[in-house]
Amino acid sequence: MILTDRRILPRSGLSLPATGLGCAQLGGLYRPTDPAEADRLVAAAWDAGIRYFDTAPYYGYGRSERRLGAALCDRPRDGFVLSTKVGRLIRPNGGGTRVQGVDADGWADPLPFHPVYDYSHDGILRSVEDSLQRLGLARIDILYVHDIGRVTHGDAHAHHWDALTRGGGFRALEELRRDGAVAAIGLGVNEWEVARDAMAEVDLDCTMLAGRYTLLEQASLSPFLERCLASGTRIVAAGVFNSGILAGNGKFNYADAPPETVARVEALAAACRAFDVELPAAALQFPLAHPAVVSCVTGVRNAGQLAANLAWLRAPIPAAFWQALKSRGLLDEAAPIPARNPAEI
C-alpha cells in the first residue's frame, strides 16, 4: 500500500514515507482553520497511516508549527518524519496588534507576528531554535531553506543568495546536519533553477519542489531531475495540483490560470474521461513514478479532503492512459510513468 511505502534519502539514510501531509492550512491559508478541525485533521492523517508532516514558520506566522507540534507531541517521536523551514524569522508586531481577516500573504487570522527574511548563518540557527520552541519537540528531521529564488525575490535575490553563500547560511545547514540537530537539509522552493544552483554550493539531501514537476509541466525533468538522481539528491513533490487547477479550482501559480494553461488542462481532462480516470488521481500518482521523487506532500483543510486525496492515490489507472498522454503530446516522452496500479501496491 502506498502509504506504507518508504523511500531512502541516499545521502542521509533517512527513510521518508511516500505520502506526506502539508500543513499550511493549519496556519489558516486563505481562510481560518478551527483549532478542533486542525486536531481532527492531524489525527485522521495519523490514523490513515501518514507519518510525514511538513510545516514552516511562515504558515500563519507560527500558528501551523504550534498546532502541528501540539498534535504530535504525544506521538512516538521515532514514529514520524517532521520537516520545517528557515529563511524567515517571525517577529512580534508592534503593540501586539493582530491582522483582521486575510492579510497580504494570504493568512487568515494569523498570530500577531510578521515575517522578516533572514538567510544568514545566525538567522538560520535562530530560526531553528524558535521552531523547536513553537513545535514543542526536540528534533527536526528535514530542514528546508524556504522560498529562495529569483521568482520569489526578484531584484533582491542576489542579496538573499549572498546571505546563504558568503553570509554562512549554507554553512549553518551543514553544521546542523553534522551535529545531528537535523538528519537532512534541502530547499523548499517553487523554482527548480535555484535548487540546481544550490547543489553547486552544498550537498543537498533533498529539495521540496512545488509545482514544477507535475502532470501539467515537466520542464525540470532534464537536466535537473536527472542530475538529482545521479548525485543522490532526492525530490519531495509538492504543489502537484499546480495551485489547484488540476483539482478543479481554476488557479495556477496562485492566480487565475492563463488561457493556454486552461486549454492544456482541458486536454488532460479529456484524456482522463476517455479512460474513466479522475484528473486529481493522475496528478497525485504521476510524480511518484520518477525514481528521484521520494514523497508527495499535499495540503488539505479537513479530514474529508484528506480521505479524497488518499482515494485518488489508490485509484487504479491503466498503463494505456499514460501512454495516451504521451501520444497526444500531453506528457514528456522521457517522463517515467507508474508501472503498477496503486491498488496492487
CA separation for the pair 161, 172 (Å, rounded):
14
Please answer whether residues 292 and 225 qualify as being in contact, where contact means their C-beta atoms are separated by less than 8 angstroms: yes
Secondary structure (3-state) at 252: strand
Secondary structure percentages of the chain, helix, strand, coil, to 5: 45, 20, 40
Q: Which three cell numbers stand for residue 120?
A: 544568514
| pLDDT score, position 345 | 41
| pLDDT score, position 343 | 46
Question: In this predicted model, what pLDDT tens digit does every residue of 194-242 receive, in sequence order?
Answer: 999 999 999 999 999 999 999 999 999 999 999 999 999 999 999 999 9
| Helical residues (DSSP H) of the chain, grouped into ranges | 35-47, 63-72, 121-135, 150-153, 157-164, 169-178, 192-199, 224-231, 259-274, 279-285, 303-314, 319-327
| pLDDT score, position 274 | 98
The helix/strand count (H/E) of the chain reads as 12, 14
Q: Catalytic site residues?
A: 54, 59, 85
| pLDDT score, position 252 | 87
Our CA angle for 291, 297, 300, nearest 5°, is 155
Secondary structure (3-state) at 333: coil
Exposure class string for 67-104: b at 16+ Cβ within 10 A, else e: bbbbbbeeeeeeebbbbbbbbbbbeeeeeeeebeebbe
Secondary structure (3-state) at 180: coil
Residues of the chain with pLDDT under 70: 1-2, 340-345
